[in-house]
């Protein structure tokens, strides 16, 4: 996999959504079929031997990446959504935002106790949403075998928080700063 090429496909947008933040936009990566395929294949290659039963993706870009990974692995996909977006009974977990608190949900019947789940999202920053996703999956008794991200912002510490929870992770591209 050509990491320089993949990193070059990720657009940096300064001062979005607020001053001082550099937003890492993957829509340009998604628009480059060969580069996007390389990312998905790299994730699949790393986790195929771990035999996940499901891939869980975080709303919204994690749905795109996670859905592609699930399809290539031949396993089901579990959407993890913001509160109020799923139509069936759910379990929830709160997570902190800079400006308050939000919640993630998953359907109560999305996975069963002991089933192996790979968590996928486009980016890990502070780790708040990833940790909330681990919490909702844990409420269902899932065994999270790892987490895969296209982008890591290691300066923000999210990856270290996953390591503290003993969650193996894969990040394809790291950017310093935020």
Active-site residue set: 61, 98
Residue 13 to residue 22: CA distance in whole angstroms: 5
């Amino acid at each position: 996999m050509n990491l320089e090429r993949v990193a070059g496909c990720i657009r940096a947008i300064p001062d979005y959504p607020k001053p001082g933040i550099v937003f890492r936009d993957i829509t340009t990566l998604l628009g480059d079929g060969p580069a996007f395929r390389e990312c998905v294949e790299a994730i699949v290659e790393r986790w195929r031997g771990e035999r996940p039963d499901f891939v869980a993706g975080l709303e919204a870009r994690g749905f795109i990446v996670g859905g592609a990974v699930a399809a290539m692995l031949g396993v089901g996909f579990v959407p993890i959504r913001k509160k109020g977006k799923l139509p069936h009974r759910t379990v929830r977990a709160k997570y902190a935002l800079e400006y308050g608190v939000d919640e993630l949900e998953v359907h109560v019947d999305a996975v069963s106790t002991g089933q192996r789940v790979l968590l996928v999202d486009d980016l890990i920053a502070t780790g708040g949403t990833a940790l909330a996703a681990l919490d909702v999956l844990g409420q269902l008794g899932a065994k999270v075998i790892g987490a895969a991200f296209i982008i890591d912002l290691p300066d923000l510490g999210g990856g270290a928080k996953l390591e503290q929870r003993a969650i193996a992770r894969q990040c394809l591209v790291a950017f310093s700063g935020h």
